[in-house]
Structure 1
């Protein structure tokens, strides 16, 4: 076998583990392996050997492994983290349980709030106080911390979250707690809120720190096992992790701040879509990533995904903002729906078809897998509707059983509603597609966007099966399905820069703007963020982007305001105000006269430069591609089965055209081209699917 410098991207999902290798010459090979929950590294190793064999490489030829995982997310959702305690300021023991005054379902008299990660007996206090200006009001005595350390030892804790009031302004008290715990309980993991999330709002900050502490031992153990296992298999190379903000961080930083990995897989997908959008010169894109467990929708403007600094995990009310655990870290802003290929279908007490959020996962999987699953999933519906070839699923590595899908759909849905299996499958598919369409509409409205004129980029194992119907529902006239769509997030890992975003809460009104203090703060944040990036690549060129979170005095929440490089180097009140007012007017249509403006959070993102996107040539006049076969695929618009041409994607040449209804098949997924739409193979391998007579 030949030696070559290569990079491996690995995405662990709820159903499949996707593995992609790119060789030094630019060739790419991929594989989908069922996720092994008990030991996730087993699926990674199996996939690595598959793709290396396909590429003619030995694992020793790998130069980097870049990994994204849902393990931290799953541990939070399933409440299977470490035995954790919180140490906080006296009087603030119940902050993570009291939450905020917000009622996410205003008229529900039986409102059920999410349970905090830690019960009350695992929350401890120390007498200390720092005020909102960072001044020490009540000093923290070492003896008080030692007394708490003794109680933590009695409670047999494995991990401790330290969240003291206003510690983001002065972390000295939190560091004292850490020092005492290191002496008294050296085997216990410690997370400080002043390091994990140094931002105002104690509920979000405490909750984020607790979440970090809760998953830290689990993730440290897993990442250590993974590193050793890869080395034992011959891949003794650097391992990096994709973080929620869309960049790559070192294994050591990921072990220290695992909460930043909570949205790592979806973030890779957004990076993948942004790269495709840049190559095709698209300014407005709807990224649609549908895998085995969830679907993710993200807005991409001018080549960059929208970002946020708070998101929610484990919502107790589906789609209800405010019903989950807030995590206060830099993150790509997206809406996530419990609607994937493994999402289970049922009929509720009112006779309505429901899909998800419960998933069959990979064990036992949908009924058609033949692994003991008796309840129908979205994959079962897709199979019965003719969207999938039972003999060529996952490149033929997983045989499907249509008869078991029909039995499960009939038993769980059809018999209860007086439908046959095909009608039941159609109902399931329509429900899941409408659920995703509704989520996309709401996400667009919340961000002040109109989806008219947007292009959808679809990827993930299940997205190309549903993208055409979703586009019809949203009034979108164009869909791009990139090559490697079935493993898009893993490819996105290989496109992401090394990056880290440092944030700090320092309150400053523009009428009292201190230019010197602002410049010093931004310089410190830039140095901090760049320091994290240097742990990944000590010699790389690093660029920085500064952002302020600002609001009118009296408002409850801020908007992000990006600063150009020259303004970040020499901040000046009038110029900052002008940037704020322009962004505020763009979002809300007007500014507010007579009110002062304040900065609450300062942020600097440090990142290595990304490769410039190569523009894709326009489509030419190609011939209709010949069909390899024909099969029956259900037409949801007509409401009946229709004959569809089956075309091998690998057989398509540049500018080849496929007129719907058609199924374009490949190893990791199938692209459904609806009737009245036409697909064109672009120069970069993307399938450009457009409504005939549309864009």
Structure 2
């Protein structure tokens, strides 16, 4: 079977082709104006390497950051909002919280829909789903006329309590599509049928904002592959770590916002399972961003909410909330293309903006003049300019050095090694700080974890990041440069559905709960089946519970069948056990309520076999030597350069050293030794304190 996976990033598009037990990988520069062009060019090259044709592709899995980048860069469709009369400013009022209580100049997230494009219509549905005020259809038609006049391309409909009864939202869609046939319409009751008006409205707006762009791109991609002779259905990676069909992705593109990083987390979870690692810190550093994810017992931590475009990098509440299933991670603007400059206090700052693929870092010779992390790594000697991206991109050390000198060295009176090292140290500390915060927020210690590093830039920075975090072991998997794309091919086909329906355990409506869960299972099953093909599906059910009067709830597992009277007492016991684990002790006799219900239907994940240990042996001969700056002192040290393909299982070398391969290079710090394990991964162990 021939399987293709593609991960579009801000700088590079990564492609992996697996056929007859062999893996072929490529990195090509992303083509932002028409992303499908890079996908087609890279696929043609890969198929040529493997001696295959487009018609041989049986599985095609795709992930992309296009939706995320469109929101961050404000390059989505001209979008409007239709809300219940009196609720025009939900996205401005938000939850009335302040993410930084003492900052009088706080920058709140800017809504994707300006106030002039927020419209309201008379209607009202109560919390039980009863119609209190019928929908004023003439008002909807008046709004349609205003949308046409304003040239709106997409609209989000988010009415009060529509999660309980979406009839009014569906009728508004019918009217708008009749009046404006080319208008894309997103319903909050379909995208996020949950309580909490602000989060539901924000999610619907975000989906509407990216839907025309993503639907257009996915349509062009499918048409282009069909024209080349491919008959394989296109599966999209979701932010929750599962696969969705092309049609599902077109309807709900907001579920793709973290699709690329999710693939990396799946790869890291698989590496943890194969090596019996209980605590893993996934480190994915590409050309534009760095992603850090905690993985416990070979399972990435997950969440039902996510924030896009944070105004303050590490502060919750400073971004636009979206209610989607997501693998929980922290993402910062720290990639190979992140721009370095001096701030108003003449301090070196790196990111969050990136040179991307156009023009790219200064060393690419494509017009970039501001230094980047890649320029600094090249100036320090960590990158072999003749081997970068498999030799497909010629790098200019002179251009990198000139950019660093002009932007950092000359203004601070620093020589080139000190200026370049300063850039790298700042970006490494930014990533280390993000990892510390991410771990502390979850009551964990980063130093207790094994670092799994992948992406084009991560293996270059993993040694230093491990030093800063106190981590003693780093794993760099095979083909680390295209790690997320490899993770796509391990992802299950699944769909998660969450719906709010309030119940108290002491007044539990058994029939209503079973009817709701059955309907959710049918809907989720239909959406999962389109991506699963002939693979069997399994079902998992949850409910979200809390004590009466509390502000937030915790997940509790449900049996995968209809509930019975006997299960009600079991729900109380399960909730109290989960609550006690989080907060030390439950509250005896307190009233418990259920707010939301969740169903996940998907294919089973294959159990991983533990890899055998590889007996240590001598490493391969060096293929050359390079002068590398190891610290801020400026003195260069000559280090050995090894080809990763020359390593055999157990092969061991001591740092400092460089291990080069087509998609990335691994820098082995002076405090580490590197050994190839039985699964082809490089394991860096700290041997000096």
The reply to whether TM is greater than 0.5 is yes
Match of 2:419 in 1: 424
Secondary structure class of the residue paired with 2:629? strand
Counterpart of 2:433 (choices 438, 446, 452) is 438
Match of 1:398 in 2: 393
Post-superposition offset of 1:349: 1.8
Match of 1:8 in 2: 4
Q: In the TM superposition, what are the counterparts of 1:231-630 in structure 2 within 5 Å? A: 231-563=226-558, 565=560, 572-593=567-588, 595-630=590-625
**Separation in 2, partners of 1:459, 1:564:** 37
Secondary structure class of the residue paired with 1:282? coil
Match of 1:687 in 2: 682
**Separation in 1, partners of 2:576, 2:675:** 43
The answer on whether the counterparts of 1:519 and 1:570 sit within 8 Å (CA) in structure 2 is no
Size of the aligned set, in residue pairs, is 689
Q: In the TM superposition, what are the counterparts of 1:636-647 in structure 2 within 5 Å? A: 636=631, 640-647=635-642
Deviation per residue, 1:481-517 (Å, 9 max, x gap): 1101100111111111111101101122233333333
The answer on whether the counterparts of 1:387 and 1:465 sit within 8 Å (CA) in structure 2 is yes
The answer on whether the counterparts of 1:242 and 1:261 sit within 8 Å (CA) in structure 2 is yes
Secondary structure class of the residue paired with 1:278? helix
Deviation per residue, 1:139-186 (Å, 9 max, x gap): 213333233223323333221211000100011111111121232222
Post-superposition offset of 1:591: 3.3
The answer on whether the counterparts of 2:308 and 2:320 sit within 8 Å (CA) in structure 1 is yes
**Separation in 1, partners of 2:621, 2:354:** 38
Instruction: Answer with 531-540 or 457-466: which moved more.
Output: 531-540
The answer on whether the counterparts of 1:8 and 1:65 sit within 8 Å (CA) in structure 2 is yes
The answer on whether the counterparts of 2:417 and 2:634 sit within 8 Å (CA) in structure 1 is no
Deviation per residue, 1:593-627 (Å, 9 max, x gap): 55333222211111112222122111312223321
**Separation in 1, partners of 2:350, 2:545:** 40
Deviation per residue, 1:357-404 (Å, 9 max, x gap): 010101111111111111110001111111110111000111111111
Match of 2:13 in 1: 17
Deviation per residue, 1:295-336 (Å, 9 max, x gap): 000111111111111111111222222111111111111100
Instruction: Answer with 575-584 or 241-250: which moved more.
Output: 575-584
**Separation in 2, partners of 1:401, 1:530:** 53
Q: Evaluate the alpha carbon distance shift between residue 491 and residue 325 of structure 1 in structure 2; reply closer, same or farther with a 3 A threshold.
A: same
**Separation in 2, partners of 1:414, 1:432:** 17
Counterpart of 1:118 (choices 88, 113, 117) is 113
**Separation in 1, partners of 2:609, 2:647:** 22
Are residues 1:175 and 2:174 paired? no
The answer on whether the counterparts of 1:519 and 1:569 sit within 8 Å (CA) in structure 2 is no
The answer on whether the counterparts of 2:421 and 2:632 sit within 8 Å (CA) in structure 1 is no
Post-superposition offset of 1:477: 0.9
Match of 1:184 in 2: 179
**Separation in 2, partners of 1:529, 1:343:** 39
Secondary structure class of the residue paired with 2:637? strand
Match of 1:224 in 2: 219
Q: In the TM superposition, what are the counterparts of 1:96-107 in structure 2 within 5 Å? A: 96-107=91-102
**Separation in 2, partners of 1:580, 1:416:** 60
**Separation in 1, partners of 2:581, 2:640:** 46
Q: In the TM superposition, what are the counterparts of 1:651-666 in structure 2 within 5 Å? A: 651-666=646-661
Q: Evaluate the alpha carbon distance shift between residue 640 and residue 543 of structure 1 in structure 2; reply closer, same or farther with a 3 A threshold.
A: farther
The answer on whether the counterparts of 2:83 and 2:121 sit within 8 Å (CA) in structure 1 is yes
The answer on whether the counterparts of 2:446 and 2:471 sit within 8 Å (CA) in structure 1 is yes
Secondary structure class of the residue paired with 1:452? helix
Deviation per residue, 1:451-503 (Å, 9 max, x gap): 23311111100000111111111111111111011001111111111111011
**Separation in 2, partners of 1:198, 1:46:** 40
Counterpart of 1:53 (choices 39, 45, 48) is 48
Q: Evaluate the alpha carbon distance shift between residue 616 and residue 570 of structure 1 in structure 2; reply closer, same or farther with a 3 A threshold.
A: farther
Match of 1:29 in 2: 24
Instruction: Answer with 622-631 or 185-194: which moved more.
Output: 622-631
Post-superposition offset of 1:88: 0.8
**Separation in 2, partners of 1:640, 1:509:** 69
Structure 1 portions without partners, runs of 5+: none
Q: CA RMSD in A?
A: 1.8
Post-superposition offset of 1:87: 0.9
**Separation in 2, partners of 1:439, 1:555:** 30
Structure 2 portions without partners, runs of 5+: none
Counterpart of 1:135 (choices 130, 134, 140) is 130
Secondary structure class of the residue paired with 1:530? helix
Secondary structure class of the residue paired with 2:376? helix
Q: Evaluate the alpha carbon distance shift between residue 568 and residue 270 of structure 1 in structure 2; reply closer, same or farther with a 3 A threshold.
A: farther
Post-superposition offset of 1:538: 4.5
Q: Evaluate the alpha carbon distance shift between residue 378 and residue 314 of structure 1 in structure 2; reply closer, same or farther with a 3 A threshold.
A: same
The answer on whether the counterparts of 2:503 and 2:593 sit within 8 Å (CA) in structure 1 is yes
Post-superposition offset of 1:636: 3.6
**Separation in 1, partners of 2:634, 2:317:** 38
The answer on whether the counterparts of 1:245 and 1:331 sit within 8 Å (CA) in structure 2 is yes
**Separation in 1, partners of 2:510, 2:687:** 56
Post-superposition offset of 1:559: 2.5
Q: Evaluate the alpha carbon distance shift between residue 128 and residue 336 of structure 1 in structure 2; reply closer, same or farther with a 3 A threshold.
A: same
Secondary structure class of the residue paired with 2:128? coil
Counterpart of 1:65 (choices 51, 56, 60) is 60
Instruction: Answer with 146-155 or 401-410: which moved more.
Output: 146-155
**Separation in 1, partners of 2:366, 2:567:** 64
**Separation in 2, partners of 1:658, 1:234:** 47
Secondary structure class of the residue paired with 1:495? coil
Post-superposition offset of 1:519: 2.9
**Separation in 1, partners of 2:46, 2:163:** 45
Deviation per residue, 1:22-81 (Å, 9 max, x gap): 11x221101000000111011001110111111111121111211111111111112222
Instruction: Answer with 158-167 or 559-568: which moved more.
Output: 559-568
**Separation in 2, partners of 1:346, 1:108:** 25
**Separation in 2, partners of 1:596, 1:569:** 20
The answer on whether the counterparts of 1:309 and 1:330 sit within 8 Å (CA) in structure 2 is yes
The answer on whether the counterparts of 1:35 and 1:362 sit within 8 Å (CA) in structure 2 is yes
Q: Evaluate the alpha carbon distance shift between residue 591 and residue 415 of structure 1 in structure 2; reply closer, same or farther with a 3 A threshold.
A: farther
